Amino acid sequence: MAGPARGRRAEHGAGLSHHVIHGYRRAYRVEGEGPAILLVHGIGDSSATWAEVIPGLARRHTVIAPDLLGHGASDKPRADYSVAAYANGVRDLLGVLGIERATLVGHSLGGGVAMQFAYQYPEHTDRLILVSAGGVGREVNPVLRAVSLPGADLMLSTLRLPGMRGQVGLFTRLIKLLDTDLGQDAGELLDLVDALPDSTSRSAFISTLRAVVDRRGQVVTMLDRCYLAQGMPTLLLWGSRDGVVPVHHAYGAHAAMPGSRLEIFEGAGHFPFHTDPARFHALVEDFMRTTAPADWSQERWRELMRAGRPGSTEGAPDPAFDRAVDRDLREASERSAT
């Protein structure tokens, strides 16, 4: 959920293409040839976050990495920044590029967008790869909950004042020295300050955050529809020390998504593909090689919808369903992306 990191990610404008869709300028990167893989970044981030993994994936695949609206080099209008709207934006970009189907790789907020895309457009989805994904539990780091509160713009703007960046840098070094889970991503936290240079960027960031987080945590869930993932090859990748979206969300999502695979990056934080890009690349390639694209059927989709979640009767919760999953579902389903 952080901004572009210095040194290890692509320069902000390197390799970027642009297209105006619905009157808004969208930035994106495209490399390689072959079956399409679409990489969706997290909140406050940009396509540059994938710099270390794009070249390897592009050897066998067409890799598309957009800057979501309100992020990176894309426009930052006063607009709809909901997860469903982002899924629509992904569909529109794929349409512009003439790509019918893709495997979606989503990190953090991008994981929620990828799940929403698969829900809205299963006929365009080959596979799902969810990396430290949002939308599978209520819990989220208290810092993000605080930024969702009124007055957040003023709070974020003070971080741009002279001397404040040094204090933020001191704080991030401290949490890293204390070996906290959040400290695993200290560099990305510091870069978040740089990713919000003006009021327009801050406004887009806050609007996006408030669409998915409030004072009590995440407010959008896909757990209530995870049973629809039957037949959708799904890979979950998580850091064991994720201080933003705790790793127990990975186990809950794994239990709720039939047939999914789960890989934990021991010692990694919220950005496992930064911690060990070689392993990330190997896991994605293996998953692509050993699974067939989803064979979506409207008739099968209807059958699953009519049956509802396994073990449920007319929408009642399943007593045998994993307790942690059920708890997060009840708490988070107050506002579910539709």
Q: Using DSSP, state whether 136 is helix, strand or coil.
A: coil
Cα→Cα distances 282→273, 278, 287, Å: 11, 6, 9
> Contact, 111 vs 133, CB < 8 A?
yes
Give the largest Cα separation in the chain, rounded: 60
| Helix 83-97 vs helix 109-120: crossing angle, to nearest 10 | 70
* DSSP code string of 156-210: HHHTTSTTHHHHHHHHHHHHHHTT-TGGGGHHHHHHHHHT--SHHHHHHHHHHHH
> Contact, 96 vs 19, CB < 8 A?
yes
Rounded distance, CA 201 to CA 213, Å?
A: 18
Cα→Cα distances 158→20, 150, 151, 153, 170, Å: 33, 15, 11, 9, 16
Residues 6 or more apart from 57 whose CB is under 8 A from it? 32, 37, 63, 281, 284, 285
Residues assigned a catalytic role: 108, 242, 270
Q: Scanning the structure block, which residue is given the tokens 């698969």?
A: 118
Strand order in the sheet with 24-31: 17-21, 24-31, 62-67, 36-40, 102-107, 125-131, 234-239, 261-265
pTM exceeding 0.85? no
Structure tokens at 169: 């840098």
State the DSSP H helix or E strand holding residue 81, giving kind and residue range, or none if neither: none
What is the full per-residue pLDDT of the chain (338 aa) written as tens digits? 433 333 334 444 458 999 999 999 999 999 999 999 999 999 888 999 999 999 999 999 999 999 999 999 999 998 888 889 999 999 999 999 999 999 999 999 999 999 999 989 999 999 999 999 987 766 565 565 555 556 555 555 555 544 445 545 554 554 454 455 555 665 666 666 566 666 777 777 777 777 666 666 566 677 777 777 778 999 999 999 998 888 988 998 898 888 899 999 999 999 999 999 999 999 999 999 999 999 887 888 788 878 777 655 544 554 444 454 455 444 444 444 44
As separate numbers, helices (DSSP H) first and strands (DSSP E) second, the chain gives 13, 10
